[in-house]
Amino acid sequence: MKKKLLIGTSVVLVAGASFYGYRTMTDNKNRQKAVDSFVSDLKKQNFDDYSQLFSKKSLEDYTLTNKAVKERYETIFGSIGVTKVKVTNLKDEKYGKKNYRLTYNLELTTPEGVIKPEKYKAIYSKSNNGKFEFKWNSYLIFPGMEATDKVSLQNDVVERGAILDRKGEPLAENKEFEQIGMNPSQLGDDKKEALKEISEAIDTPVDKLEALLEPEWTKGDVFVPIKVLDDKQVEALKDKLPRGTSLASKTQRYYPLGKAAAHLVGYIGQPTAEDLDKNPDLDETTPIGRMGLEQALDNDLRGKNGLSLVITTAKGDVKKTVFKRKAVEGKTVKLTLDREAQQKAFDSLENKPGAMVASQPKTGDLLVATSSPSFDPNQFITGMADKEYKALSEDKHLPFLARYANRYAPGSTFKTITAAIGLDAGVIKPEEALPIDGLKWQKDKSWGGFWTTRVKEQPTVNLEQALVYSDNIYFAQQALKMGEKTLMDGLAKFPFNKETTLPIPMEPASISNEEKFKNDILLADTAYGQGQLMITPLQQLEMYSVFMNEGNLITPKLIEDAKTEKTDGIVSDKSAKIVLDDLVGTVANEDGYAHNLYQPGFNLAAKTGTAEIKEKQDTVGTENSFLLFLDKDKSQFMGLVFSEDSRKNGAANEKAKVLVDYLEKNYN
């Protein structure tokens, strides 16, 4: 009997020991799983899962929820741009009878550098449901924090740098505006009617106003911003503000030239979610460049806001600075542009499709780069109504298109380059006159129905006459004499298929769709500026600079402190001078095509040009008009005027006088 009892007791003891060993092994696995999750979620910044590791009771002791912990970590780590979390010196040990303690060093990497590693500790234990849960404590955010302490983000907001013209006059600046906003507590009982009145007064849809009032903070006696107003809007509303609204001052971006420099200067706007994902330096409150120089030079202009992450006591005293990023002021950028010349050029285009560019050819300083029609960038700052934006985006004249940076066939202004290449090759001789009969010509019957035409009939034509009276037949015949290789070799010295160094987006200039001309027709067509040539007005200005620089090419520049780039020997000094001298007659001769620009005592050289775009021969196509003008004697300025569809909108030379007169007066 005793023996049986002993055996029974042994069985119970063995079973109990087995159960205890199994439970211990399970606990160890669960414990390790909790520790692994804690470390992994922290390193991955997976704060949703991380916040679930804490016991409900420990969170309640701090009047917190799992969601609040998650949001707190996301706000702190997100604000300082934590890109990497490194956990080192991890130790897991028994802590008292029922608790365990995890100690570790936490190193946070941010765009500003690594935050000095600190030693952390986390207490955890087994809960009644068998899970291991961590005990929340403030020092888990930052060591040394107490229950009553707070983490505070302090911003040092910098001002966006200005964009100035060559004389220091603003093209983009920060200006104080009046902003209209709603006070929800003053909208009255009939809120819908009040919102309708506001909507009609400031041209803002009711649904947008309702959306502004949705956030929790917009309840009660607060100012809810709606939009920034321009001076005219303020004047109109000053004595009759809609019910529940008031005005407040706000500093905003302002563009003094408005439409005249819209494409070049651009405008700013709030960053999108995609922008924020791509650039950790951005934040939701700081505008970024959306177009033009505001976009191209955004990093310099925007600067960087300063940021301090501090631990404060209940009284608001700073207890510890965890992170500090110094503010970098936005840089003011000074351009080579002449604000007054820009305005005069834009006004001269009279809102018709076209562009004007001008420069100082010795330095490459761009004085003018304007495009028409245009838009007012200030509307993007004060708030453009949907119907206004729709009207602009659907306008057939494309007001958002920067025509000075858009490629076109250059037309007859390009004959200057063909002439210089022919002179250098010895094919064109200045005094040699070619006999030409009639107003149209073709090489032979192989050209079929294609004819090269000219406007002025002369029995013999030399180089000067061909340039002054823009004789297409002369240049077609000279191109065939040169042959494809000579012309192509000469053109290869110019900046074709080359990316621009200007902070202005544009496609490279191109000669033809393929490496070689398909036939003699394309060779002849190219010689007088048509064919498949595609060159922007800015690129033309660069190419024609050889005639003002002894055959050397000067690359345009827009930033005042940028270096002047020169490429020597594009054409010979002798050939450049011959062409330049021959262009004087275009202005000086009474029957010259740009005689309207003639000023006694001033030696202005010029070349007019047209490029016709049509589907087939013997039809009238759309004609674009160009004017190249050059200060022959002092080389202080040169420019190019472009008029799109000139049969409807007027020739380029008709639009140039105000700008030319200004440059003659101020740049000599």
How far apart, in whole angstroms, are the C-alpha atoms of residue 85 and residue 108? 5
Digit-coded pLDDT (tens) for 201-222: 998 999 999 999 999 888 889 9
Give the C-alpha distances (Å, rounded to integers) separating 94 from 28, 100, 124: 12, 4, 10
CA distances from 339 to 172, 344, 364 (A): 11, 9, 17
Three-class secondary structure of residue 601 per DSSP: coil
The number of angstroms, rounded, from the C-alpha of 530 to the middle of its chain's C-alpha atoms is 32
- 422 contacts 489 by C-beta, under 8 angstroms: no
Tokens 């761009």 belong to residue? 366
C-alpha span between 86 and 106 (Å, rounded): 6
CA distance 469 to 10: 122
**Of the candidates 81, 141, 144, which has an alpha carbon nearest to the alpha carbon of residue 113?**
81
Radius of gyration, CA atoms only, the chain: 37
Distance CA 391, CA 341 (A): 29
Q: Are 659 and 344 in contact (CB under 8 A)?
A: yes
The sign one gets for the Cα dihedral 271, 277, 278, 281 is positive
Q: Is-contact 88 73, C-beta < 8 A?
A: no
List phi, psi (to 5°) of 111. -60, -20
Low-confidence ranges of the chain (pLDDT < 70): 1-24, 614-621
Preceding omega of 556 cis (within 30 degrees of 0): no
Give the burial class of 184: count Cβ atoms within 10 A of its Cβ; 0-12 exposed, 13-18 middle, 19 or more buried: middle
Phi and psi torsions of 224, nearest 5° = -105, 105
Burial class (CB in 10 A: 0-12, 13-18, 19+), 3: exposed
d(CA 318, CA 316) in angstroms, rounded, equals 6
Distance CA 533, CA 294 (A): 31
Angle at 515 between CA 513 and CA 517, to 5 degrees: 75
CATH of domain 1-147: 3.10.450.100
DSSP 55-69: -HHHHHTTT--HHHH
- Annotated active-site residue in 372, 412, 470, 512: 412
Distance between alpha carbon 116 and the CA centroid of its chain, in Å?
36
Per-residue DSSP letter, 309: E
**pLDDT of amino acid 6:** 47
Q: How far apart are the first and last CA of the chain?
A: 130
89 phi/psi in degrees, rounded to 5: 50, 45
Q: CATH: 3.40.50.300, 3.30.1390.30, 3.40.50.2300, 3.60.150.10. Which one for 163-334?
A: 3.30.1390.30
Q: What pLDDT, in 10s, does the model give residues 30-86?
A: 999 999 999 999 999 999 999 999 999 999 999 999 999 999 999 888 888 899 999
CA 310 and chain centroid, separation: 35
Paired sense of beta strands 113-126 and 288-291, if any: unpaired
Of 549, 527, 528, which is closest to residue 482 (Cα–Cα)? 527
Q: Which two tokens stand for residue 5?
A: 């009892």
**3-state secondary structure at position 298:** helix
Burial class (CB in 10 A: 0-12, 13-18, 19+), 328: middle
Question: What is the distance between the alpha carbons of residues 414 and 524, in angstroms, rounded to a whole number?
Answer: 12
* Per-residue buried b or exposed e for 372-387, using 16+ beta carbons within 10 Å of the residue's own CB: bbbbbbbbbbbbbeee
| Encoded tokens for 584 | 């004087």
Per-residue model confidence (pLDDT) at position 316: 87
Instruction: Please name the residue that has the structure tokens 């991890």.
Output: 90
Q: Does domain 340-666 have CATH number 3.40.710.10?
A: yes
Q: Residue 610's beta-bridge partner residues?
A: 625
What is 177-219 written as a DSSP string?
EEEEEE-GGGS-S-HHHHHHHHHHHHT--HHHHHHHT-SGGGS
What was the pLDDT predicted at 79?
Answer: 80
Is 0.85 topped by the overall pTM?
no
CA–CA distances in Å: residue 573 to residues 424, 445, 569, 580: 10, 39, 8, 11
pLDDT score of 3:
52
Residue 635 annotated in active site = no
How far apart are alpha carbons 624 and 475 in whole angstroms? 19
* For the chain, domain boundaries: 1-147, 163-334, 340-666
CA distance 665 to 590: 23
Sort strands 163-164 and 333-334 into parallel, antiparallel or unpaired: parallel
- Tokens of residue 629, six digits: 């003008």
Q: What is the greatest pairwise CA distance in the chain?
A: 144
DSSP β-ladder status, 440-441 and 245-254? unpaired
Exposure string over 100-123, b if 16+ CB within 10 A, otherwise e: bebebebebebeeeebeeeebebb
Q: What's the token pair of residue 177?
A: 């505006």
